[in-house]
Structure 1
Amino acid sequence: MAQTKNLCAQIPIALHQKVCTNKEQSELTLNQYVTQLITEYYEMKEMKPSMAQTRTLALQISEELFARIKKHVDAMPHLTPKAFITQLITKALDEIEAQE
């Protein structure tokens, strides 16, 4: 397990309530939820996509495949479904393009 360090900050009450509500809905521990939020923030910041630079890809998959993805993502609190799927697609495309 990775080493950890405490992070404490004063935030507005309204924001605190919003975080607590969303954390409860996520069924994650506070550590997992905050780690996920911060990780997603820095992933988005590194990619720096504007709305004009992004597109939505929607597809239907089997319940079995969805459960497999969910199981993997849930086991890694720093990983979001979006990040996981994006990594898979990027890796597959890189492999295909390397063969061409």
Structure 2
Amino acid sequence: MEDTKSLCAKIPIELHNRVRASQEESGLNLNQYVEKLIIEYYQMKEMKYMAQTQTRTLALQISEELFARIKNHIDKTPHLTQKAFITELIIKALDEAETQETK
């Protein structure tokens, strides 16, 4: 299991109530929900950076079964888009491949 560390911050009550309501709707505990929000924030920041650079379209065909698995995963993860999910997978795979190449 990954090491963890607490993060505490005071926020306005109205914002706190919104966060807790969304957290309860998500079915996640508070730790999981806040971690997910922070990860999504950094993913959005990365996507914004990528949008500012030249982009290209990558299209491919996949099996119906694989598409259904991807769609199911994305549907279970609020605020996750296909683009963010696939981009993150590609980046992780390339990072791993480049790390192996340098060894």
The TM-score range, normalised by the shorter chain, is 0.5 to 0.7
Report the Cα distance in structure 2 between the residues aligned to 1:40 and 1:17, rounded to whole angstroms.
20
Q: Measured at CA, do residues 16 and 71 of structure 1 come closer, stay the same or move farther in structure 2, by a change above 3 Å?
A: same
Identity %: 49
TM-score scaled to structure 2, two decimals?
Answer: 0.55
RMSD: 3.7
1:31-42 equivalences in 2 (<5 Å): 31-42=31-42
In the alignment of these two chains, the number of paired residues is 80
AA of the residue aligned to 1:20: R
Report the Cα distance in structure 2 between the residues aligned to 1:13 and 1:81, rounded to whole angstroms.
27
Bigger relative contact order, structure 1 or 2 (CA pairs below 8 A, ≥6 apart): 1
Question: What residue in structure 2 maps to residue 87 of structure 1?
Answer: 88
AA of the residue aligned to 2:80: P
TM-score scaled to structure 1, two decimals?
Answer: 0.57
